[in-house]
Amino acid sequence: MDPLIAASLPLIVWAIFAASAALTTLLGALLTYHWFRYAHNPAAALLSVIIYASVSFLLLSGLLAATIAIASI
Amino acid sequence: MNDLHLLPDEKIILKLRKHWILLARDTISTLLLAFLPLILLAVIQIMAPQFENFPNYLAFMSFASALWLLIIWLALAVIWTDYYLDLWIVTDKRIISVDQISLFNRKVTTLSHDRIQEVIVKEENFVQVFFKYGTLDIETASPTDGDATMEGIPNPERVRAAILAETLKKPSIQV
């Protein structure tokens, strides 16, 4: 691997992880706003928030683990 | 909680969402995309096995797969939100159509029963006939209200009957 790419790789993967986490959080905030503003059933809106947050947390944890694995190469 | 304000004496006759098969179609087609990294891995293994000798090949593939799954999950959340917030309400006074086109793009249309001239049901293919859903075209007499189209309505004949029953209760328009 090119030494320059190898040196900047940890920074690139951390930047991708940070952007993904920010996007997930921002979309979550927008969706939560929509669910609570427009849904007719508060329980369904709350359940949607819980499911979205849980699955997003799991997927972001997986991405974080992969990011750490690459950054520690 | 929501932006639909019913009149004090207004009664909801029907509350409808699109048929579940439309949500299933969009969800399954998006979920199939989640398998793309596995297909890519298999293709690389067959077409270019030398890539597996690339240092930390598995770490990179894990990172790319995790990122891809996250993107798929976000897409699913938006698909479900679009489905859940699309709503049609038939009351004893009017029809309220809520069309969630995208995030922050929402169209709420109301049609008064006394303006409705014709309700047309369309079931246009085998899937629609088999799963009993279709399109409802509502033509109005008003030049400002315009016509309304409800796509993906479950049991459209039953909905048409309910709309016509309410429409017939209203006095006809005097010309």
Chain B contacts in chain A segment 2-41 (CB below 8 A): 13, 16, 20, 23-24, 27, 30-31, 34-40
- CB of A42 within 8 Å of a chain B CB? The answer is yes
Total structural domains within chain B: 2
Tens of pLDDT, residues B84-139: 999 899 998 888 888 888 888 888 888 888 888 888 898 888 999 999 999 988 88
Contacts of B36 (CB under 8 A, 6+ apart): B68
pLDDT of residue A1: 63
Question: Sheet of B87-91: strands edge to edge?
Answer: B12-16, B87-91, B94-102, B105-112
Each residue of A48-73: pLDDT tens digit?
A: 999 999 999 999 999 999 999 988 87
pLDDT: which is higher, A26 or B141: A26
**Residues in chain B within 8 Å Cβ distance of A73:** 55-56, 59
**B72 lies in the same domain as B102:** no
B127 shares a domain with B157: yes
Residue B108 domain-assigned? yes
Residues B157 and B113 both lie in one domain: yes
Contact between A66 and B73 using a beta-carbon 8 Å cutoff:
no
pLDDT tier for residue A7 given thresholds of 50, 70 and 90: confident
Do B153 and B91 fall within a single domain? yes
Measured distance CA(B95)–CA(B48) in Å, rounded: 59
Whether residue B150 is found in the same domain as residue B131: yes
CATH number, domain containing residue B140: 2.30.29.30
B121 in the same domain as B74: no
Q: What integer is the mean pLDDT of B28-39?
A: 92
Judge whether B162 lies within some domain: yes
Q: What is the pLDDT of residue B42?
A: 86
d(CA A60, CA A46): 21
B44 and B92 inside one domain: no
Q: Are residues B57 and B96 in the same domain?
A: no
Q: Residue B175's pLDDT is what?
A: 45
Is residue B21 within 8 Å of B133, Cβ to Cβ? yes
Amino acid A41: pLDDT:
85
Whether B130 maps to a domain, the answer reads yes
Residue A17 has pLDDT above 50, yes or no: yes
CB contact under 8 A, B66 and A59: yes
How far apart, in Å, are the Cα atoms of A5 and each of A9, A10, A11, B119?
6, 9, 10, 64
Q: How confident is the model at residue B2 (pLDDT cuts 50, 70, 90)?
A: low
Domain that holds residue B101: 12-18+87-169
In a domain, B7, yes or no: no
pLDDT higher than 70, residue B144: no
Does residue B76 sit in the same domain as residue B91? no
